[in-house]
Structure 1
Amino acid sequence: MTNIQGRAKSDRVTLHDVARAAGVSKSSVSRLLDERLPRSNSEVAQRVRKVAKELGYVRDISAANLRRGNTSMIGLIVPRLTDTVMAMLYEALQRAASKTGKVVIVATTDETPEAERRAADTLIGRGVESLILATARHDDPFTKELAERGVKYVQALRTDGIGLSSIGDDQLGGYLATRHLIDLGHRKIGLIAGPAFASTASKRTAGYHQAMQEARLPVDESWIVPSTFGIESGREAVKQLISLPDRPTAVFAVNDNIAIGAFAAIHQMGLSVPQDISLVGYNDIPIVSHLTTPMTSVHVPFDQIASAAFELLNADELSPQERTKISIPTLIPRQSTAPIKA
């Protein structure tokens, strides 16, 4: 028998390792360790289980479920469903899935990488065919880990720049939002930039810089405030901008929730939108058109992004250029933006 003690603990133990150590075939190990089958108490089965335990073998439920074939279930992982953007993505994916007789089941992570991994294992354990991830973070090896396990996945809305991705053109959207304010005569434009780990935030920030540079407008670093994607974060960020000695006359928030928080704080501080400060959000969630001052926002084509995500999942072979599908956003001007006062 192979020396079990000699194996490095950091190595992932495979069925092949157990088979070699137990002196049986890989197919025998797979059958004897499959908990869905009747438990055998033969001498061979007992030896296989003993070796598996000593080696620290953990059954890879992802590979097992992928071998079972079509289950008609797609797993979706999002930060939270209380975020309207993620709820809209889920509904769009559900509509796209229903056209092919599939159903989307969802798990949330609250933006925690560890929870994302647990969510993936839970969904795979339930037999999903593949995963759609709306939780991508820069420099996170999670998608690489999925690929190594043979798990089929696509990223939606956010991307790590490596795996299959269906996203909006966030840099263009950030450019359109900022360019709109510049065209209204604003020169001091603040940015509530969102979290740096999300491609949506970083690309929209890049669009802001692109528009400001194109217009040859200086950017004071104090005008750029990082935030989460939450309402309260927007509230605190805009207070910081308003308290500046030479405060911006307009603010672009890279997410509608952030913009809603900023909108509330501006009014609480005795100022008004757009008379004192013009405000632009992003995603065009339904509520922003029903605020007391309807908000200008960048509309994201969620249904296009959802359909493109399924196209990527169903594609057999893709060139590097085809691995990312980009949908085009549009600016929706409303009453929260106005020309700067002379």
Structure 2
Amino acid sequence: MEPTASGAQVTLKDVAAASGVSISTASRALDDRGNASGSAAAIHVRKVAEELGYRRNSFASNLRRGDTRTLGVLVPRLSDTVMALMFEALERAAAARGYFAMVATSGDDPEDERRAAETLLDRNVDGLILATARLDDELPRYFRERNVAHALVLRTDGVSPSALGDDEVGGYLAVRHLIDLGHRDIAVLTGPSFTSTGIARLAGARRALDEAAIETPAEWLVAAGYGIENGFSAGHEVLEGGIGRRPSAVFAANDNLAMGVIAAAHHLGIEVGEELALVGYNDIPLSSRLSTPLSSVRVPLDQIAGNAIDLIVNPGKEPQIRKSMPTLIPRASSGAPRHSMPQVR
């Protein structure tokens, strides 16, 4: 609240007295949680409040009601573009529903994750949204047992309320695209095996390969982290031809991995889009701005964010695990149909 000319802060009681109404009537007129009342009395109260310089203490008001209209968001790191974009989408979705979102980072360590979650809970948040869940993560189970309102986003443990893209469909779309272009020598770089995203995208890729009766060497199925450096190492591993030949195409389970593969290919003198087809995942903004624009699987982050918020603020509605459909965005990196491409050296 802002001070009056005498230095005192204007209270709700002051507004009620100046408006000639009860404190409860003034409180209802100034409650900004829903549609503002259009009654003459409410309009008069708001006009008086504005003239007096009154500002409602929404935090204290919410505490009296037992909620703070605040949600905590836990991500591994904000240096990861997808996590930063996810948080921004959650901020927008929360604001549209009258909530405020605050973020904490935890890395991939379970103990750091628990400490960060406790820090957010100490701020009296109404619920937690976790973008950190591992398949072996105990934190969602801990929340379920203690009835802590929470939702998992982008990842799922298969039990807690979750909002994510359909990663198996996404992996399928990526590899099916490469097969439809005529490729049969396809490597797949997956995410970490402790994440639902890594497992589901690999499952989708395998389904597409199985449908086409393609047997992929085990050396071309590489589990890695989700960083550019992981893509660079894994890219070298599959492109150096350790089994006597190299793949003509690569599906990388996120765009950072794909950019690492681009760097590895450049280092080995292999031209992406001509000699090597490449598809990434997530379609981060940089993907379309690369010198060879990256084909990628786009994930509807705003829809996922809205689902995650709704799982907390409107609990009990089915389904508790909500998957949004991804879309393949083909660009130059996946190249021309295989029959018109130069032969792989």
- TMscore range, shorter length: 0.7 to 0.9
The 1:112/1:150 distance shift into structure 2, 3 A limit, reads same
Instruction: Give the SS at the match of 2:198.
Output: helix
1:225-276 superposed Cα distances (whole Å, 9 cap, x missing partner): 1110000000000100012222110000001011111111111211110111
TM (norm. structure 2) is 0.78
Q: Following TM superposition, by how much is the alpha carbon of 1:330 offset from its aligned partner in structure 2, in angstroms?
A: 0.2
Question: Structure 2 CA distance, aligned partners of 1:299 and 1:205?
Answer: 17
Alignment of 1:1-342 (within 5 A): 69-244=66-241, 245-319=244-318, 322-338=319-335, 339-340=337-338, 341=341
Identity of paired residues, percent? 50
* 2:108 partner letter: E
The residue type paired with residue 177 of structure 2 is H
The CA distance in 2 between the partners of 1:326 and 1:151, in whole Å, is: 22
> How many residue pairs get matched?
276
SS of structure 1 residue aligned to 2:216: coil
After TM superposition, the runs of 4+ consecutive aligned structure 1 residues lying more than 4 A away are: 65-68
Structure 1 length as normaliser, TM-score?
Answer: 0.78
* 2: CA distance, partners of 1:120 / 1:67: 23
Unaligned runs of 5+ residues in structure 1 are: 1-64
CA distance in 2, matches of 1:108, 1:171: 27
Give, in whole Å, the separation in 1 of the partners of 2:176 and 2:205: 8
Structure-2 change in CA distance of 1:278 and 1:118 (3 Å): same
1:213 Cα deviation after fit: 0.4
Letter in 2 for 1:263: I
SS at match of 1:336: helix
SS of equivalent to 2:334: coil
- Alignment partner of 1:135: what SS? coil
What amino acid does structure 2 have at the position aligned with 1:283? Answer: N
TM-superposed deviation, 1:67: 9.9
Which residue identity is paired with 2:268?
M
* One-letter amino acid matched to 1:254: A
Alignment check: 8 A CA contact 1:79 1:134 kept: yes
**How far apart, in 1, do the equivalents of 2:226 and 2:66 lie?**
37
Q: Which amino acid aligns with 1:99?
A: A
8 Å CA contact 1:66, 1:151 repeated in 2 = no
Shift in Å, 1:183: 0.3
